[in-house]
Structure 1
Amino acid sequence: MLRIAFASTLRFMRRHSSVLQADFEGGVSQSHISRLERGESSVTLERLEEIATHLNVHPLSLIALTWGASEQISPAELLERVRQELESLDGLLHPIVIDTQPAIHPRIIEAEKVRDEVQRLKALGHNKAEISRLMGIAKSTAARHW
């Protein structure tokens, strides 16, 4: 349903802004705009930003129009609800700090713990077989972190 609502929003905004599909240049191709307008494709945040730039609107305007169409409520009503939600989360007081460091996968964190423990036991004089038995890991795992 959201793809169809976005399709309607995009068609409406293009007509309202007198922008042709061919006017989109750069990252968004005419064929991609056409697929979006037919509801055959979903939009990414990056593409949404590019489309909004071509239409001279903020990306949130397109999102508000899309969700409003999907829920059959006015964008103003939707934005008021969002404002109240953000206010209850203190979202209006402080912007979220963008963390540029990629999240570390839990398996990597666990592997680092295993490696550290293997190295600690190795420093205490244990061999691979003993470490394997003490930690309950395969000998090959102990060897990999040796």
Structure 2
Amino acid sequence: MELKVAFGATLRQARLRKGLTQEHFSLVSSRTNVSLLERGGTSPTLVKLEELCSVLGVHPVSLVAACYIRKENITDLKAFLAQVQKDLKAIDT
């Protein structure tokens, strides 16, 4: 699955699970842009990702992690999170 498509599907799933409409994002993004993101037509900037996540009430890293779980069809969440933790320790030296 293409990364933009995985992100869009993850954003849409998170929005729907929170019971939000695309209009709930109107203070941070137009409905048209949210729709484009959800269809995988574009990717958000880091600033836009943070704004979208503020509306969703989730940490941006959580949304990105969920996106990669979808993209790579990860089934072992514990192993995935252990790898992320290992990577973070290696980066933060």
Taking a change above 3 Å as real, the CA distance of residues 76 and 66 of structure 1, as seen in their structure-2 partners, is farther
Shift of 1:47: 0.6
Which has the higher relative contact order, 1 or 2, with Cα contacts under 8 A spaced 6 or more apart?
2
Structure 2: 5+ residue stretches without partners: none
Q: Runs in 1 of length 4+ with deviation above 4 angstroms?
A: none
CA RMSD of aligned residues (A): 1.6
Between the aligned partners of 1:77 and 1:86, the Cα distance in structure 2 is 14
TM-score scaled to structure 1, two decimals? Answer: 0.58
Larger Rg: 1
Identity %: 36
Answer whether contact 1:64 1:78 (CA < 8 A) is retained.
no
Equivalent residue number for residue 8 of structure 2: 7
Instruction: Give the letter for the 1:59 counterpart.
Output: P
Residues 22 and 83 of structure 1: CA distance in aligned 2, closer, same or farther (over 3 Å): same
Which amino acid is 2:55 matched to? H
TM-score (norm 2): 0.88
Displacement after TM superposition at 1:27 (Å): 2.8
Q: Deviations over 1:87-145 (max 9, x none)?
A: 2x262xx6xxxxxxxxxxxxxxxxxxxxxxxxxxxxxxxxxxxxxxxxxxxxxxxxxxx
CA contact (8 A) 2:28 2:52 kept: no
Q: Deviations over 1:33-86 (max 9, x none)?
A: 000011111111111001100000000110000011111114543222110122
Equivalent pairs, count: 91
